[in-house]
Structure 1
Amino acid sequence: MYHFPRFKAVALVLSLAVSGAHAQDIIKIGYSGPLSGGAALYGKSVLNGMQMAAAEINAAPVEIGGKRYKVEIVALDDKYNPSETGINLQRLVQQHQTAAVLVPHSGGVFAAQASNEKLKVLLLAYTSLPAATERGNKLTVRIPPDFTTYISPFIKAAMSKYGKNVGLAQADHDYAKAWSAAFKPAWEAAGGKVVADNPMSYNKAADFYSGVSRVIQAKPDVLFIGGASEPTALVAKQARELGFKGAFIVLDQAKLDEMAKITGGYSTLEGAVGVMPMSGDDRPDAVAFTTRYRKLNEGKDPSSEVALNYTAVHATIAAMKLAGTVSDATAIRAQMDQAFRKLPGQYNPASVEGLDAKGGAIVNAIVASVENGKLKGQLLRSNAAGQ
């Protein structure tokens, strides 16, 4: 039998020790969202933001508890189906050992909350529904602000210029239902009247003429619309083709810049009120982020989903650093507020200021309106957002 000389054996041991010291473990962050079907564009935008953050983190791998890590995003398609989300959550935790999973739709969030505490996984909930953090789930963080923040300024902008009669032609999924339930009494309390209410299945159709026609027959001054950006744009476009000349109130899931690409510009969306696209945000960190994103994505503009979920991944890794663990979801959740607050501006383009007491994001959001074919913005202070 051949024997290594002693000095060679020592060198080999040292070599293995050095290579082990520089070896990098993997932090896996899960994603369950729509990557096919009518909401695929929305789901891919969310995933793009997560992957952009992971790439930046991996350029200078993080050290936590004496170990060096790289980040991997494990993405599963749930087709916007909550039952698929629940199955995906099990797979992500049991097969991939993810300590955190991001879900970008309310039905999926609520399905995940049925088991995430038992599975001991942090749920990063991309939904503006306040119920996501009001249920007392101790391992949930809500990434965007509470959608009810937008209702009053949306109503004021549309009603003051276009009239008091509104027709509802929004999507029929859980998130749109919640928006509608909060919007209708607020519109009426402001002195308006709901003249039609006809929700439609945005994720299963591309021809909305008959549904929109029923709504505009009631002669509304304003149409309340919204779901994923692509079908929402088609609803607006087809409403114009049917002769509607009023304003649109666009719930925050749909993005005005993505809609404009489908409608052929902002002229079709004249009078629309919605959330300011990231590309229209002129705050310095937002401008810098948009520039970086365009360079990486052939000139494409980032949506607010891209920006907020990009920040969520950076904040999750920062919370792991603060907690000193990559696997203890409870310890990581306990550090998420500080992680958001301490993030450098370059990693926080949407200006998330932290979490409220229930785990909802506090965000300085900007309301946008389309006037004379251009976007005009108004800042909503964070003391109203996310509370």
Structure 2
Amino acid sequence: MKTAKKLGLAVAVATTMGLSSAAMAEEVNIGFSGPLSGGAALYGENVLSGLRMAAEEINANGGFDIDGENHTINIVALDDQYSPAQAATNAKRLVQESDVPAIFIPHSGGIFALMDFNVEDDFLVMAYTSVPTITEQGNPLTVRIPPTFDGYVKAFTDYAIENWGTKLAMGGATHEYAKIWASMIEKAWTAKGGEVVAKNPMDYNKSADFFTGVSRLVASEPDVMFVGGASEPTGLVMQQARQLGYEGAFIMMDQAKISEAANVVGGLEPLEDTVGVMPLSVYETDAAQNFIKRYEEKYGKAPGSEAAFNYLALHGLVEAMDEAESTDPTVVRAALSDAIANLKASKNPYEVIGVDEKGGFITSPTMAVVKDGEIVEKEF
């Protein structure tokens, strides 16, 4: 059985509670590798906040049992600055030094890098990405947390062409996930009869001044501009497009969130006529609203999907360990679907109903449009 050892590493982010029953419990380390510095740092911190919140709740409630022994969760987080190579190095370190049975990672380049050796090294990849090919690889120890984006591509394209026009300028990010998104939306756009009038991908992770790249897109006089990476730089790209006189619409890649981009640009007005995924804040279910309230009380801000999905994923992972009475990755993976399905509503803000045979969480994608200064849900 894989049981973690305590770490004294300065780089580790430990999430433990000093309650009486938990204090004597044995820790199970869970790994995280993601951007905690650079332009995507806010994105990485949002993912990590959901994991920390779940871990603190689990530990505060007395942890969980394996073979009659009490265990708690310890999150060990390493910064990879969105680099696949660094993510792979971090994963090796997490396995060798922290004996982790699972690593959460929120970018496709890093996920693909870890999938090259995770079965051999015996750890679960908890993949926060909507790239469809992640679960098409047949990797038995990889779990995809959010819904795939292929549905978004078609829905966003159809809505944009039908409502805003046929000329598209493409200004997405340069990381692997954004490249895949851009390739798919270009195909969908032209198949629908649209025209791509400009392409200028930009490094959202390193730059805050996008005027040069954005000006090239604006000069092509598009009806719609495709943008997207992490929410903060995406908001800056959109803001700078407006400052350069762009009055058209935006398609926002699902990694970026409308509500978070609005925080960057000072409200929804600059994001008028933007189509993207529906923010968690718009969900009216009891499960979502309950999570939002608790998250806001803890962090002083509204949660995004990164926090919510990874929060429920860690609760599901620990429930699977509890039910399987093991931290063995293969055994835990086999128990994960039932564990997710049996989660209490308060632990499942997106109401995920299980894990499909390929390793993807089963949930419904959503679409929203900014119209007249409000975020409006649209039929998907």
**Shorter-chain TM-score range:** over 0.9
**Contact 1:126–1:144 (8 Å) recurs in 2:** yes
**Contact 1:22–1:68 (8 Å) recurs in 2:** no
**Contact 1:350–1:363 (8 Å) recurs in 2:** yes
- Of 73, 88, 97, 2:75 maps to 73
Q: Which amino acid aligns with 1:330?
A: T
**Contact 1:351–1:364 (8 Å) recurs in 2:** no
Q: CA deviation at 1:203?
A: 0.9
Give the Cα–Cα distance (whole angstroms) in 1 for the partners of residues 40 and 264 of structure 2.
14
**Contact 1:364–1:379 (8 Å) recurs in 2:** no
Q: Residue by residue, what CA displacement relative to the aligned partner does 1:312-348 show, whole Å, maximum 9, x if unpaired?
A: 100100111222102x111011111111111111111
Give the Cα–Cα distance (whole angstroms) in 2 for the partners of residues 343 and 152 of structure 1.
32
Q: Which runs of 5+ in 2 are unaligned?
A: 1-19
1:265 aligns with 2:277: no
Q: Please give the residue correspondences for 1:241-260 in structure 2 after superposition, counting only pairs within 5 Å.
A: 241-260=243-262
Query: In the alignment, which residue of structure 2 is the partner of 1:231?
Result: 233
Query: In the alignment, which residue of structure 2 is the partner of 1:274?
Result: 276
Q: Residue by residue, what CA displacement relative to the aligned partner does 1:37-62 show, whole Å, maximum 9, x if unpaired?
A: 01000000000000000011111121
RMSD of aligned residue pairs (Cα, Å): 1.5
Q: Residue by residue, what CA displacement relative to the aligned partner does 1:135-171 show, whole Å, maximum 9, x if unpaired?
A: 1111000001111111122122222221111110000
Q: How many residues align?
A: 360
Give the Cα–Cα distance (whole angstroms) in 1 for the partners of residues 285 and 246 of structure 2.
35
Q: Which amino acid aligns with 1:370?
A: V
Q: Please give the residue correspondences for 1:175-186 in structure 2 after superposition, counting only pairs within 5 Å.
A: 175-186=177-188
Query: In the alignment, which residue of structure 2 is the partner of 1:325?
Result: 326
Give the Cα–Cα distance (whole angstroms) in 1 for the partners of residues 367 and 345 of structure 2.
21
Q: Please give the residue correspondences for 1:1-387 in structure 2 after superposition, counting only pairs within 5 Å.
A: 23-60=24-61, 61-298=63-300, 300-326=301-327, 328-378=328-378, 380=380
Give the Cα–Cα distance (whole angstroms) in 1 for the partners of residues 345 and 338 of structure 2.
14
Q: CA deviation at 1:20?
A: 11
Give the Cα–Cα distance (whole angstroms) in 2 for the partners of residues 150 and 98 of structure 1.
33
Q: Residue by residue, what CA displacement relative to the aligned partner does 1:96-150 show, whole Å, maximum 9, x if unpaired?
A: 1111110110011011111111110011011111111111111000001111111
Give the Cα–Cα distance (whole angstroms) in 2 for the partners of residues 130 and 294 of structure 1.
31
Give the Cα–Cα distance (whole angstroms) in 2 for the partners of residues 365 and 379 of structure 1.
10
Query: In the alignment, which residue of structure 1 is the partner of 2:17?
Result: none
Q: CA deviation at 1:192?
A: 1.2
Larger Rg: 1
Q: Which amino acid aligns with 2:313?
A: A
1:252 counterpart SS class? coil
Query: In the alignment, which residue of structure 1 is the partner of 2:3?
Result: none
Give the Cα–Cα distance (whole angstroms) in 1 for the partners of residues 22 and 182 of structure 2.
55
Give the Cα–Cα distance (whole angstroms) in 2 for the partners of residues 22 and 226 of structure 1.
43
Q: CA deviation at 1:277?
A: 1.3
**Contact 1:27–1:71 (8 Å) recurs in 2:** yes
Give the Cα–Cα distance (whole angstroms) in 2 for the partners of residues 379 and 185 of structure 1.
22
When structure 1 is superposed on structure 2, of 149-158 and 92-101 the one drifting more is 149-158
Q: Residue by residue, what CA displacement relative to the aligned partner does 1:46-88 show, whole Å, maximum 9, x if unpaired?
A: 0000000001111112112211111111100111111111111
Query: In the alignment, which residue of structure 2 is the partner of 1:16?
Result: none
Give the Cα–Cα distance (whole angstroms) in 2 for the partners of residues 296 and 261 of structure 1.
19
Give the Cα–Cα distance (whole angstroms) in 2 for the partners of residues 368 and 191 of structure 1.
23
Give the Cα–Cα distance (whole angstroms) in 2 for the partners of residues 314 and 104 of structure 1.
17
Give the Cα–Cα distance (whole angstroms) in 2 for the partners of residues 236 and 177 of structure 1.
19
Q: CA deviation at 1:295?
A: 0.6
Give the Cα–Cα distance (whole angstroms) in 1 for the partners of residues 37 and 22 of structure 2.
41
Query: In the alignment, which residue of structure 2 is the partner of 1:6?
Result: none
Give the Cα–Cα distance (whole angstroms) in 2 for the partners of residues 369 and 227 of structure 1.
18
TM-score scaled by length of structure 2? 0.92
Give the Cα–Cα distance (whole angstroms) in 2 for the partners of residues 345 and 231 of structure 1.
33
1:354 counterpart SS class? coil
TM-score scaled by length of structure 1? 0.91
Give the Cα–Cα distance (whole angstroms) in 1 for the partners of residues 161 and 374 of structure 2.
19
Q: Which amino acid aligns with 2:249?
A: A
Q: Residue by residue, what CA displacement relative to the aligned partner does 1:156-190 show, whole Å, maximum 9, x if unpaired?
A: 22222211111100001100000011111111122
Q: Identity of aligned pairs, percent? A: 47
2:376 counterpart SS class? strand
Q: Which runs of 5+ in 1 are unaligned?
A: 1-18, 381-387
